[in-house]
Structure 1
Amino acid sequence: MLFDIRTIIGALLGCYGIILVITSLVQDTAAQSVKTGGLDVNLWAGLGMGGAAVLFIGWAWLRPVRVPEPHEQTVEDSTPDT
Structure 2
Amino acid sequence: MAEKKTGAFDIRVVIAALIGIYGVVLTVLGLIADPAEIAKADGLNINLWGGLAMLAFALLFVLWARVRPIVPPVTEHDPTPNPTGSSPAASD
Q: Secondary structure at the match of 1:70?
A: coil
Give, as a single letter, the amino acid of the residue that structure 2 aligns with 1:21.
T
Query: Which segments of 5 or more consecutive residues in structure 1 lack a partner in the other structure?
Result: 76-82
Q: Secondary structure at the match of 2:9?
A: coil
What is the rounded CA distance, in whole Å, between the counterparts of 2:51 and 2:72 in structure 1?
34
How far residue 71 of structure 1 moved from its aligned partner, in angstroms, is 3.2
Give, as a single letter, the amino acid of the residue that structure 2 aligns with 1:16.
Y
What is the rounded CA distance, in whole Å, between the counterparts of 1:54 and 1:22 in structure 2?
17
Q: Secondary structure at the match of 1:15?
A: helix
How far residue 34 of structure 1 moved from its aligned partner, in angstroms, is 2.4
Percent identity of paired positions between Structure 1 and Structure 2: 41
Q: Secondary structure at the match of 1:2?
A: helix
The residue number in structure 2 matching 1:17 is 23
Number of corresponding residues = 74
The residue number in structure 1 matching 2:53 is 48
RMSD: 1.8
What is the rounded CA distance, in whole Å, between the counterparts of 2:38 and 2:31 in structure 1?
13
What is the rounded CA distance, in whole Å, between the counterparts of 2:37 and 2:25 in structure 1?
17
How far residue 68 of structure 1 moved from its aligned partner, in angstroms, is 1.2
Q: Secondary structure at the match of 1:58?
A: helix
Structure having the higher helix fraction is: 1
The answer to whether structure 1 residue 37 and structure 2 residue 13 are counterparts is no
What is the rounded CA distance, in whole Å, between the counterparts of 1:39 and 1:68 in structure 2?
48
Q: What's the CA shift string for 1:47-70, capped at 9, x where partnerless?
A: 000000000011011111111110
